[in-house]
Amino acid sequence: MNIRSVVRGVGHYLPSRVVENKEFEATLDTSDEWIRSRTGIERRHFAAEGETTSQLAIKAAERALENAGMSVDQLDAIVVATSTPDYTFPSVATMVQAGLNMRQGFAYDIQAVCAGFVYALANANGLIVSGQAKCVLVIGAETFSRIMDWTDRGTCVLFGDGAGALILEAATGTGTTDDRGVLSTDLHSDGRYRELLYVDGGVSTNGQAGHLRMQGNAVFKHAVTKLAETAHTALEKVGLSGDDVDWLVPHQANLRIITATAERMQLPLERVVLTVQDHGNTSAASIPLALSIGAERGQIKEGDLLVTEAIGGGLAWGSVVLRW
């Protein structure tokens, strides 16, 4: 008997404030055309004053539960991927647990920046396969607008806020790649590249939230090679290839990175779920947002083979192969 972690429901939430590229023209030496041509981003959502990461996460979670037709009493655990928590502690996950009025189980956060949701999905799968949990709510939620340097046109136009949620439940599979659920995972990190993408603040350094700093060109080069490699590795682990993939659901950082990665995987853009134009880079929230919207659009259907992949600060990167 093979235990698989099967997707039962998805949901997402985006703050109401939509920020078009043109808004930046008033304060920065940039333009809508410049941003679109280099990133593919047209707009993004920003959280309202006082609107927190946990609040976004709770709304996405509620929608995922509704989509799954499940109640909070059926959950055993909550895993939240975020780099922009409400507080140093407690975890966002425990705040979501309280917000959902979930009295049982356990909840914790994972921090792997933009790769956070891939790490969280792999972690939740491990909980289910090992028998520690039968049903896990996995969330990616971020308010990156809170760590932007609004004078740095190379970073502040790239990011947005939002949350996406997915419910994984244990199911019996045959042990073949025809099974629904998570089929393989592949995770990596290399701490030598910290200076390429980091936030210049923290509890034990300067006691401040800090601002995001990035060497864009260097990150781009690492992203294209590492994302294609991890996707291939995850597929090879279960004897599959790019030809078997119905949808690539990548971290939505930059259209050029997504296009280059798809080309290396020999996948046409028609088989890539794209949301970067409307959301910008929402870090750990970007993959679950794309999964939820892809399902909502009718692109992702039951039985489809999906590959998700992401890279973020650390550097940390990885991929998950799953059958919807």
Catalytic positions, written as ranges: 114, 251, 281
Strand duo 181-189 + 316-323: pairing: antiparallel
Q: What number of H helices and E strands is found in the chain?
A: 8, 13
Q: Which residue has the tokens 């600060």?
A: 313
Q: What is the SS3 assignment for 276-299?
A: HHHHCECHHHHHHHHHHHHHHHCC
Please, which residues have CB within 8 angstroms of residue 251's CB and are 6 or more apart in sequence? 114, 115, 118, 227, 281, 286, 287, 308, 309, 310, 311, 312
Neighbours of 174 (CB within 10 A): 10
Other Cβ atoms closer than 10 A to 305: 18
Nearest to 323 by CA among 219, 237, 270, 244: 244
- Helix intervals (H) in the chain: 32-39, 53-68, 92-99, 116-129, 216-236, 255-264, 276-279, 286-297
CB 153 within 8 A of CB 30: yes
Give 20-57 as a DSSP string. Answer: EGGGGGGTSS--HHHHHHHH---EEEEPPTT--HHHHH
Q: Taking CA 106 as the corner, what is the angle to CA 100 and CA 108, rounded to the nearest 5 degrees?
A: 90
Give CA–CA dist 49/131, Å, rounded: 41
CA dist., res. 16 & res. 220, Å (int): 30
